[in-house]
């Protein structure tokens, strides 16, 4: 008899009919003898609707109250799913963030789970109950409601799986699993049966929206086997576990892309030691995540150009911080939103020579200009013109035998 955490995303609980369907999935799971904890998102559309209401009141809506507002969405789903399970004659109960409690640390709208009290829920599971827990939220040490960022229900699921020592954590969603590329853009993209945490982490950081990166990280740290699968079909999903359990036959597992990035170039910066630190320190202090950085070789001995990428939503804040920065001198700041980041990911890359070369060659063959490059052990990302996104993904998908 095992213990399973099942997480159901917004589309999986988007209507009462779907909630009944989810209740049947849980019933089936419990009837095989497993103890079940279900984590639920808000019904699809609900969170956006609540955000819209808050913005009608203020674009800078108070963050404490935003957390109170948004956390209501998962509360609704918890109650409906518990009611649906009870209708199926199961013992079930919703447990709200403060009833458990789920303790968090950090600022409003961006907290992180630090502990979850397990005694009461474990007792309930022992008595044959199904526990329903709202994703995306917790309470702070001051007993304020806190949320843990969009997509945070995945993070709740892996945190619950870790703290309750669950055997597996299944992420039920509206796709069949993790694909070698976006199946909506690349019809030949294939579902991946098995993938390592590292690869999944790179893929999800890079725009594959199947799972939230910090949730994958938690699963990796505590070696919790994940499975991403569809709520709407019986098909086997994608299993995510540690690298040593996977036989790699291919160097590249998937091709991801993201259109979240902007490229910012500071032209005519003084070329002297400490200038990069002076540029990036205030950005880091303002929680702006700088992704790729390129410093061009300067033809002029005293001046250089520095290019880096940030999330598009951070562009105006970034430019303002640069303008306010009295420690740096430069001629001009330009930025380009019309870029895309294309990444190839694969745990096999490290042991396969020539992957980097083959990627650059392939893009060059398609006359696609590379604007920036960033590499890691298991991933290789490039920034290109947004218009070339599809052409690049298709080409890379083909040359790395993913079709």
Query: Which listed range, 5-13, 68-76, 158-166, 335-343, lies at the site for a copy of itself (CB under 8 A)?
Result: 68-76
Residue from 82, 279, 368, 372 in contact with a copy of itself (CB under 8 A): 82
Residue from 21, 27, 44, 50 in contact with a copy of itself (CB under 8 A): 50
64 binds a copy of itself (CB under 8 A): yes
What distances in angstroms separate CA 214 from CA 63, 96, 348, one per listed residue? Answer: 21, 22, 23
d(CA 195, CA 192) in angstroms, rounded, equals 7
The answer to whether the CB of 42 falls within 8 A of the CB of 121 is: no
Query: Which listed range, 11-19, 171-179, 223-231, 317-325, lies at the site for a copy of itself (CB under 8 A)?
Result: 11-19
Output the six-digit token pair for 221. 């740290």
d(CA 124, CA 128) in angstroms, rounded, equals 7
User: Least distance in Å: CB of 55 to a copy of itself?
Assistant: 9
Binding residue count for a copy of itself, defined by CB under 8 A: 37
User: Least distance in Å: CB of 106 to a copy of itself?
Assistant: 19
The answer to whether the CB of 154 falls within 8 A of the CB of 60 is: no
DSSP string, 2-39: -EEEEEE-TGGGSSHHHHHHHHHHHHHHHHTT-EEEEE
Mark 250-266 as b/e (b = at least 16 C-beta within 10 Å): bbbbbbbbbebbbbbbb
Q: Tell me which residue has tokens 């990796």.
A: 220
User: Least distance in Å: CB of 145 to a copy of itself?
Assistant: 8
H/E element holding 40?
Answer: strand 35-40
Task: Name the DSSP class of 148.
Answer: -
User: Least distance in Å: CB of 131 to a copy of itself?
Assistant: 13
94 binds a copy of itself (CB under 8 A): yes
118 binds a copy of itself (CB under 8 A): no
293 binds a copy of itself (CB under 8 A): no
109 binds a copy of itself (CB under 8 A): no
Backbone angles phi, psi at 195, to 5 degrees: -150, 150
Query: Which listed range, 79-87, 227-235, 280-288, 368-376, lies at the site for a copy of itself (CB under 8 A)?
Result: 79-87
20 binds a copy of itself (CB under 8 A): yes
Mark 317-331 as b/e (b = at least 16 C-beta within 10 Å): ebbebbeeeeebebe
Residue from 24, 32, 48, 58 in contact with a copy of itself (CB under 8 A): 58
Residue from 57, 188, 236, 277 in contact with a copy of itself (CB under 8 A): 57
The answer to whether the CB of 145 falls within 8 A of the CB of 109 is: no
User: Least distance in Å: CB of 84 to a copy of itself?
Assistant: 5
The residue among 26 and 380 lying less far from a copy of itself, judged by its C-beta, is 26
Binding site for a copy of itself (CB under 8 A): 16-17, 19-20, 50, 53-54, 56-58, 60-62, 64-66, 68-69, 71-72, 75-76, 78-80, 82-84, 86-87, 93-94, 96, 98-99, 143, 145
């Amino acid at each position: 008899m095992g213990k399973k955490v099942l997480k159901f995303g917004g589309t999986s609980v988007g209507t009462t009919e779907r909630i009944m369907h989810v209740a049947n999935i849980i019933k089936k799971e419990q009837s095989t003898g497993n103890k079940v904890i279900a984590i639920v998102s808000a019904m699809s559309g609900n969170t956006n609707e609540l955000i819209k209401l808050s913005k009608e009141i203020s674009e800078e809506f108070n963050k404490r109250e935003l957390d109170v507002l948004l956390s209501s969405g998962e509360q609704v789903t918890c109650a409906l799913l518990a009611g649906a399970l009870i209708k199926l004659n199961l013992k079930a109960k919703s447990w709200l963030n403060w009833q458990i409690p789920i303790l968090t640390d950090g600022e409003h709208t961006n907290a992180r789970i630090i502990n979850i009290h397990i005694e009461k829920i474990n007792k309930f599971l022992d008595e044959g109950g199904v526990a329903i827990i709202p994703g995306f939220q917790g309470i702070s040490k001051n007993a304020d409601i806190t949320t843990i960022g969009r997509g945070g229900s995945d993070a709740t699921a892996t945190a619950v799986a870790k703290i309750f020592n669950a055997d597996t954590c299944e992420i039920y969603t509206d796709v069949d699993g993790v694909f070698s590329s976006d199946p909506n853009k690349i019809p030949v993209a294939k579902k991946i049966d098995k993938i390592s945490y590292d690869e999944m982490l790179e893929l999800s950081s890079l725009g594959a929206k199947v799972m939230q990166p910090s949730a994958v990280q938690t699963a990796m740290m505590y070696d919790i086997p994940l499975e991403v699968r569809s709520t709407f079909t019986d098909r086997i999903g994608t299993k995510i576990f540690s690298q040593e359990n996977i036989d790699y036959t291919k160097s590249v597992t998937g091709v991801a892309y993201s259109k979240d990035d902007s490229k910012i170039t500071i032209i005519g910066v003084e070329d002297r030691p400490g200038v990069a630190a002076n540029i990036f320190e205030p950005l880091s202090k303002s929680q702006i995540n700088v992704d790729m950085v390129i410093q061009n070789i300067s033809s002029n001995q005293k001046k250089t150009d520095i290019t880096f990428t940030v999330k598009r939503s951070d562009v105006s804040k970034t430019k303002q911080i640069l303008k306010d920065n009295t420690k740096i001198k430069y001629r001009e700041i330009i930025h380009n939103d019309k870029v895309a980041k294309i990444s190839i990911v694969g745990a096999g890359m490290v042991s396969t020579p020539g992957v980097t070369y083959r990627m650059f060659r392939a893009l060059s063959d398609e006359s696609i200009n590379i604007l920036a490059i960033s590499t890691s052990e298991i991933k290789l990302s490039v920034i290109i013109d947004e218009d070339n996104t599809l052409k690049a993904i298709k080409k890379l998908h083909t040359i790395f035998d993913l079709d």
